[in-house]
Amino acid sequence: MPVSGLPPYDRSNIFARILRGEIPAKKVYEDEHAFAFHDISPQAPVHVLVVPKGDYVSLADFAASAPAETIAGFWRAVAKVAKDLTLEVSGYRVLTNMGVHGHQEVPHFHVHIFGGRPLGRMMPRADD
């Protein structure tokens, strides 16, 4: 169910098409809750996207609409993917963009995992 004031889920979005196998993706991991694949335009040596298999527009929609088991399974999958990519010792960053100010481009909830080099500050300061 869409969150009040936010757009409804659009089944033609690019990640929905990847989940349906209509568009290829470099798969990293899959289970009943999540599908993980390499970002097409990586911004770090490791840049993997993790998406839930259900129709959720954003984190707001996922948190409001998904069953607790799905939410737990999804976040466990995110941590497992990072661990399987051997990022735990060196560290990594998990990020989700939401809505206009978050600059969300694809309207299917997804988490970015970045790693493979020191990632610097979470947000650049104005004088950086």
Q: Which residues are catalytic?
A: 110
What residues are paired with 115 via a beta bridge? 46, 92
Residue 105 CB, nearest approach to ligand 5GP (Å) = 4
Residues of the shown chain interacting with ligand 5GP in the complex, contacts defined by CB under 6 A: 14, 23, 25, 37-41, 97, 103-106
Q: Which residues pair with 92 in a beta bridge?
A: 115
Q: How far is the CB of 76 from ligand 5GP (least distance, A)?
A: 21
Give the pairing type, strands 111-115 and 92-95: antiparallel
Alpha helices in the chain (DSSP H): 14-19, 59-65, 68-84
